[in-house]
Structure 1
Amino acid sequence: MMHRPNWDDYRFVLAVARSGSVSGAARELGVNHATVLRRVAAIEKRLGVELFEKSVRGYDIAPEKLRLIEAAREVEAAVGAVERLAQVGEAPLAGVIRVTSTDTFCQTVLPKLLARLSAHESGHGHELSFELLSTNSHLDLSRLHADVTVRPTYKLPDDLFGDMATQMAFGFYASSEAVPEDHWLGLTGGIGRSHAGQKLREELERRRVHFMAASDSFLTLRALAEEGMGRVMLPVFMGNASKMLRRITPVLEVPPVPIFVASHVDLADAPRLRQARSRIALALEAEEDFLMGLENVSPASELTEA
């Protein structure tokens, strides 16, 4: 009969999964490199499976082992909450939640929301923390680089499952009327491939404008526009917040972009991730007027300052 691993064995596996390396897991657990290697190898032998794909980049979770790792993470959260779960009420959201989004959201929207969620859970005695991963390219959630993605898009790809939480409007801006009408800033990379980015490029190319600069980041585009380098399309909550930019006449109508909160489709029903998505989506829903440019102050800012 196969020896059944105890919970302590899984701590080593999850630490490697979180950090992506044996050395990172060793630092997290306060043990040496060899101990981590030995414990991971032992549990793989007892289970009869290889949990990780080893490469020069580190330790990636083998795609077919996603469910096993997530099940272990559910156990991790449950072990930490066993006494609290005996109380009447909603099960706590606990543990580490990895959230990925664009640099715009990671720097201007999500920090206040996640801080509020973390403070709320900590105030009820629950240990909750977040890892916020900022990238304008799409992380591969099939390897658990992140648990939840907050993604502005008109349609989720087939490998993601989630719900629309809110929506975001775009506006057009320039530092002053002196910026020539044919001087523009272009969108490249992920934001350039978006529906709004493609429509803008087509319209500007039709008008034969001069692209004075371009970027794959709305934060960078705003900074370039503030220096007077060209006219620009920005999320309205970003453009309206700038004291150096003014609204200009739109060159085309851009429909609001839905904001989805999603997880990898294979893990969408995991209770911990379903709960995390729900909490983040509700917090984002409260920001809709701000994201649509109907108010200049985020409700999260007001609550944080209060």
Structure 2
Amino acid sequence: MLHRPNWDDYRFVLAVARSGSVSGAARELGVNHATVLRRVAAIEARLGVELFEKSVRGYEIAPEKLRLIEAAREVEAAVGAVERLAQVGDTALAGVIRVTSTDTLCAYMLPKILAHLSARERDLSFELISSNLHVDLARLQADVTVRPTYKLPDDLVGEVAAQMRFGFYARSHEIPEDRWLGLTGAIGRSHAAHKLREELERRKVRFTAASDSFMSLKALAEEGMGRVLLPTFLGNSSPDLVKLEPLIELPSMPIFVASHADLADAPRLRQARKRIAAALAAQEPHLLGVAA
């Protein structure tokens, strides 16, 4: 008869999944390296599957095992919240939710949202991953992405939570019209950056400086280095910047709250997305730059 692994077995698997290494899991659990190897090998043997791909980068979750790992994480969350009752019509959230977004949203919007959610659910904690680059949700580097984009990649499933706008700013109206800051890297591939670049090339204007971060561009503009395109909630937050007449008209940009397609229906992640999306919707006036 097949011996069923108990919850303690899964703790070792999830620790390796979180840290990406046996040594990291050992530190987290307070055991030695050999114990982790033995417990992971044992559960893989019992289940008849290989949960991890071993590479020079460490232990990575095999893509086809994402659902199994998330199921184990739901068990972990349920064990942590076993004495709690869900509110009527609402599911309690527990465990660790990894949220990734742009550096600007991570700094200016998400901390307050996540703090509010965490205050409501004492068994819930977050990892906030700030990156303007694509974070690979297929490897469980994150559970939920908050992404400003006009269209989600095919491997993500989610909904539009709110809209945001861009505006044009400078330290003063006296900054010359031929002094501009450019957008590079991931933000430089956005629709707004592309339209701005087209217009400035048409006017034969060269950038005086550039950055791959809106927060860095804001700081450069505050030093008087040039005019800049910024999310309105970021530009409006600066007492050192004034809003300029639009150089070009830009449509508002949707902000999606999404998960990897293979995990989008996991109850815990679906509930997390729902609550983050609702909190973002409440902030839409600030994101659109129309809040008082």
Deviation of the 1:90 alpha carbon: 2.7
**Does residue 31 of structure 2 align to residue 31 of structure 1?**
yes
Matching residue of 1:99: 99
**Among 134, 141, 147, which residue is 1:145 paired with?**
141
Matched, 1:121 2:121: yes
Alignment correspondent of 1:245? 241
Structure 1 position 201, deviation (Å): 1.1
With structure 1 as the length reference, what TM-score do the two structures score?
A: 0.93
TM-score, normalising length from structure 2? 0.97
Whether contact under 8 Å (2:91, 2:271) holds in the other structure is no
Aligned position for 1:224: 220
Match of 1:55 in 2: 55
SS of residue in 1 equivalent to 2:201: helix
- Secondary structure of the equivalent of 1:241? coil
SS at match of 2:239: coil
- For residues 231-278 of structure 1, the C-alpha deviation after alignment (integer angstroms, 9 at most, x for no partner) is 100000111111111011111001111000000011110000000000
Does residue 71 of structure 1 match 2:67? no
Partner of 2:120, secondary structure, is helix
Alignment partner, residue 264 of structure 2: 268
Query: Is 2:144 aligned against 1:162?
Result: no
**2:38 maps to 1:42:** no
CA-CA distance at 1:86 after TM superposition: 7.8
Which one has a larger percent helix, Structure 1 or Structure 2? Answer: 1
Instruction: For residue 190 of structure 1, report the CA deviation from its aligned partner.
Output: 1.0
Deviation of 1:91 after TM superposition, in Å, equals 2.5
Fraction of identical pairs, as percent: 77
Q: 1:34 is paired with a residue of what secondary structure?
A: helix
Counterpart residue type for residue 57 of structure 1? R
Matched positions, count: 292
Structure 1 86/287 Cα, relative in aligned 2: closer, same or farther at 3 Å?
Answer: closer
Deviation at residue 195 of structure 1 after TM alignment: 1.1
How far did residue 81 of structure 1 move? 2.2
Query: Unaligned stretches of 5+ in structure 2?
Result: none
- Cα distance in 2 for residues equivalent to 1:14 and 1:138: 23
Equivalent pair of 2:155/2:261 in contact (CA under 8 Å): yes
Secondary structure at 1:133 match in 2: strand
Given that 2:161 and 2:277 are in contact with CA atoms closer than 8 Å, whether structure 1 keeps it comes out as yes
Does the C-alpha gap of structure 1 residues 169 and 86 become closer, same or farther in structure 2, counting only changes over 3 Å? closer
* RMSD between aligned residues: 1.3
Aligned twin of 1:300: none
Q: Distance in 1 between matches of 2:54 and 2:111?
A: 33
> Which residue pairs with 2:109 in the alignment?
109
Identify if the C-alpha distance between structure 1 residues 45 and 236 changes in structure 2 by more than 3 Å, giving closer, same or farther.
same
